[in-house]
Chain A
Amino acid sequence: MENWSWLMDESASTYGPAIDRLYLVILIITGIVFFATELTLIWFVFKYRHREGRKAEYIHGNMRAEVVWTAIPAVIVLAIALASRGVWAQVKDPQNMPANALPVLVVASQFEWNVTYPGPDGQLRTADDFSVRNRLDVPVDRPTHVILQAEDVIHSLFLPDFRVKQDAVPGMDTTVWFQPTRTGEFVIACAELCGIGHTRMRGTLTVHSAADYQTWINEQVQP
């Protein structure tokens, strides 16, 4: 069937591959455990089924087995945790956010995304800011820093292609950054139930080449 896959579609951000690699590692580990345990289960179901004269073996347990199957999973899961820590810090640690990221203010409300750009002076919350609805325009190969707010209820900015998801919470600023690696049009979705119109809170993220981005900015500033 088309679109059937055990992997996500290829990402379009710099840290996307790190997340996808982690997913793949977990998939391989859990895949091995899945086949090993389920096939063992099926094998046991056949091999030890009741037949005339069959008797079960009177075994209460095995301490060595308990130690082994406690220690090995513990090591494996801790390895996953450690590997994840690195990627998590890469994405979420404010100190790891690239310098010179382009700031953008995204205000989520029922049921639209209001995006405010800093304008020519490069500063948000100044007079030359301009706003657009339901679209986010960013340049390729440069980091964008989204300051996320919510006007009414909790929403969540979901940019699947960029592996971005961040809740927008009324009363606080949340923050997320990403750097696109290719141009194109991508989806903006809301990923937190926010009311009756939650289903239609979509937008378009356009990644421009550097030149096209400047053109787009100029068009917005001088209508």
Chain B
Amino acid sequence: MSTTAMAARHETAAEHHHELGFIRTYIFSTDHKMIAKQFLLASLFFLLVGGILAAGVRWQLGFPGRPIPLIGGLFSDTTAPGGIVLPEFYNAMVTMHATFMIFFAIMPLLVGVWGNYLIPLQIGAPDMAFPRLNMFSFWVSVPAGIIMLAGFFVEGGHAGAGWTAYAPLSTNPEYSGVRMGQVLWLVSLIILGFSSLTGAVNYITTVLNMRAPGMTWFRMPLPVWALFITSWLVLLAIPILTGGLIMLLFDQTIGTGFFAPATDGEPLLWQHVFWYFGHPEVYILILPAMGLVSEVISNRSRKPIFGYHSMVLAIIAIAFLGWIVWGHHMFQSGMNPLLGTTFMITTIIIAVPSSIKVFNWLGTLWRGDLHFDTPMLHAIAFVSMFIIGGLSGMFMASAPVDIFLHDTYYIVAHIHYVLFGGSLFGIFAGITYWFPKMFGRMFSPRLGKVHFWLTFVSYNLVFFPMHNLGLKGHMRRIYDPNQYEFLQPLQPLNTFITISAFVLIAGQLIFAFAFFWSMYKGKEAPQNPWKANTLEWTAAPTPPPHDNFPGGTPVVYRGPYEYSSPESTDDFLPQDVPPDRVLRPEIPREPSPLPTGD
């Protein structure tokens, strides 16, 4: 059915719509905007959990063997007797920090929140293609989260084999000392996979079928492109993870031996399966952030995104190449060295589309009219930190250099520059930019800026020195570096990083406070506070009602980045303003006399 007819049907439904009760509005909602907010609150909670776990890891590294202050007494004898962290608890904290951050914070913050919130609004649709499936997608993630939290309270403690769960450490409680914790970890992630998968199905279908009239592919805003491509990655990668997790679970529980040598299994098989998912996963974790950042930079520069088509092609190239680089996680694994060469070449090539995006962001800022609101600060920070994260990747992409850098803090530095410097700053840009749309009030500019600067400075103090730790050979996932004489001189640096990390984590409380304060006390937002072109700002009220567009499905006449166009007196030109309604610059009454020939 044509998009116009489908939109008309939704229009009619909205007219006959009646008041939903509290439960159907706030708890079991099928409205994509409410589901997005549910993902937002849940994942901000897990971001906090991940941050607390990071604090625990950093405490042990900064002040090894010393009791955790203030709350040390609250820990059990199996985790931190007298407040002194045990190695098994340390391993669990390292594992769970990454697990919560990747699966329960960053992924839902990018894909669950923005996929849900932005896709229908930015393409002119009243909701997702499958609203009830959407509701399921959120609610199935809740038991997954509860199960993952439960792992801390079972005998043997939580999984401690790293978020990468390499076998046989992860399959055999005799080796790890952990049984139930690892099982719960596996079950939780298997369940969570269904949340991601159903979300991806929804997003892809919605973008394919429900774009408003005139919303051609190359008039879609970049967040939609990024989320659309990301959804294909999710669709194809998550089932592979789920399959691998089930195999791991079977090895743990019902006596299969997929990854155990004793049964002719193969430990390296786990690594191949995991990283075949794991590498596309990291692009799932960055591409949507790139989309959000493109939107903010273009809008706050009052300038079209530079190279829109190249930006789209770069997203597709990164997504495609991301499937053939996974072996770079396995250079030193015992895998055939010839494969090391091939994976090295593909890995190094992926630097090219990433750098194209960086240059295009710089091109967007060039000769722009830059407004440094909080979202723009985060977006610019994203670009500058992603440059560092991307460049550091060049070192480990070189397989022989990776011999030294693998499993050192150099890798930890790289990961956090792309995941925090990249993804999380992108998320902050998105939250502060679309906050007025979601809640009808502006995110406090003052608190937003304080939070930004505190975060930006302390974040660099935490993660930049990790490059140097790695260059000195400081290994990852090490409970007590002082066991090694060659690492002892690095203790002051570890302590410095820890103190900076505490400042960083504490600084996020400002964000949490600002978030809730602004929701109730922030300045009331006009419909289009950023003078944006995209449909969520121009065709839907702030905040939008159920079915989004009370005036009916918008019609799109142009691309999303027509800022400072000579066609209009305004420095923006919304996608849905018909050509004859554009505010044109004054045309002189009579044309100026043309010079005559002689």
Query: Which residue numbers of A lie inside 8 Å of B, CB to CB?
Result: 1-9, 18-19, 22-23, 26-27, 29-30, 33-34, 37-38, 40-41, 44-45, 48-50, 54-62, 65-66, 69-70, 73-74, 77-78, 80-81, 84-85, 87-93, 110, 152-154, 156, 158, 160, 163-172, 174, 187, 189-200, 202
Q: Which of B341, B365, B481 contacts A41 (CB 8 A)?
A: B365
Given contacts A19-B404, A69-B359, A156-B407, A34 and B303 within 8 Å (CB-CB) = no
Complex-state Cα separation, A78 to B483, whole angstroms:
40
**Given the complex, which residues of A lie within 8 Å of B363, measured CB to CB?**
59, 61-62, 65
Contact across chains for A8 and B261 when beta carbons are under 8 A apart: no
Q: A41-B362, A45-B380 are in contact. Are A73 and B352 (CB under 8 A)?
A: yes
- Give CA–CA (A77, B403) in the complex, Å: 19
User: Would you mind naming 28 contact pairs between A and B with Cβ atoms under 8 Å apart?
Assistant: A8-B471, A19-B403, A26-B394, A27-B395, A30-B392, A34-B387, A34-B391, A41-B365, A44-B362, A49-B370, A50-B372, A55-B302, A59-B367, A61-B307, A61-B308, A66-B310, A77-B351, A84-B399, A93-B337, A158-B475, A165-B403, A169-B267, A174-B334, A187-B473, A191-B406, A193-B476, A195-B175, A195-B176
Instruction: Decide if B426 is an interface residue (CB 8 Å cutoff).
Output: no
Residues of B within 8 A of A87 (CB): 400
Give me 14 other A-B pairs in contact (C-beta within 8 A), A50-B372, A61-B309, A167-B332 excluded.
A30-B394, A33-B391, A45-B372, A55-B369, A58-B563, A61-B304, A61-B360, A73-B356, A81-B344, A88-B340, A88-B400, A172-B268, A189-B475, A193-B169
Q: Within 8 Å of chain A (Cβ to Cβ): is B485?
A: yes
How many positions in chain B have a CB within 8 Å of any CB in the partner chain? 100
Q: Identify the closest chain B residue to A186 (Cβ).
A: B486
When the two chains form their complex, are residues A2 and B489 in contact, meaning their CB atoms are under 8 A apart?
Answer: yes
Question: DSSP class of A's interface residues: helix, strand, loop or mixed?
Answer: mixed
Task: Assess the B493–A22 pair: CB atoms within 8 A.
Answer: no
* A8, A92, A202: the one within 8 Å of B340 (CB): A92
A38 to chain B, nearest CB (A): 6
- B387 contacts A38, C-beta separation under 8 Å: yes
A89 and B344 alpha carbons, distance in the complex (Å): 12
- Whether B371 lies near A50 (C-beta < 8 A) is yes
Within 8 A of A (CB), among B367-406: 367-372, 380, 383-384, 387-388, 391-392, 394-395, 397-401, 403-404, 406
Chain B residue nearest in CB terms to A11? B404
Known: A38-B384, A60-B306. A85 touches B475 (CB 8 A): no
Q: Does B571 contact A (CB under 8 A)?
A: yes
B120-128, B160-168, B531-539 - interface stretch: B160-168
In the complex the two chains form, what is the Cα distance from A38 to B417 in whole Å? 15
- Please determine whether A85 and B341 come into contact, CB atoms closer than 8 angstroms: yes
Chain B residue numbers with a CB within 8 Å of A34 are 387-388, 391
Cα distance, A189 to B483, chains bound together (Å): 10
Query: 8 tightest A-B contacts by CB?
Result: A171-B261, A160-B473, A92-B337, A61-B307, A56-B369, A199-B479, A87-B400, A84-B398
Contact call B400/A165, Cβ cutoff below 8 A? no
Which residues of B have CB within 8 Å of A55? 302, 369, 564, 571
- B355 in contact (CB, < 8 A): yes
**A158 cross-chain contacts in B, Cβ below 8 A:** 407, 473, 475
Most buried by B among A30, A40, A62: A30
The reply on B524 being an interface residue by CB < 8 A is no
Chain B residues with Cβ under 8 A from A200's Cβ?
Answer: 480, 483
A81–B348 touching, CB < 8 Å: yes
Q: B477 contacts the other chain (Cβ, under 8 Å)?
A: yes
Q: Is B345 an interface residue (CB 8 A)?
A: yes
Hey, which chain B residues are within 8 Å of A153, CB to CB? 166, 168-169, 172, 175
Q: Are A80 and B168 in contact (CB under 8 A)?
A: no
Q: Does B579 count as interface, using CB distance less than 8 angstroms? A: no
Q: Are B370 and A156 in contact (CB under 8 A)?
A: no
Chain A proximity of B336: nearest CB distance (Å): 9
Minimum Cβ distance to chain B for residue A130 (Å) = 26
Report yes or no: B306 in contact with A197, Cβ–Cβ below 8 A: no
Are A23 and B395 within 8 A (Cβ)?
A: yes
| Minimum CB distance partner of B480 in chain A | A199
Question: Could you say which of A22, A40, A41, A167 contacts B401, with CB atoms under 8 Å apart?
Answer: A22
In the bound complex, residues from chain B placing their C-beta under 8 Å from that of A88 are 337, 340-341, 344, 399-400
Q: Is the CB of A187 within 8 A of B406?
A: no
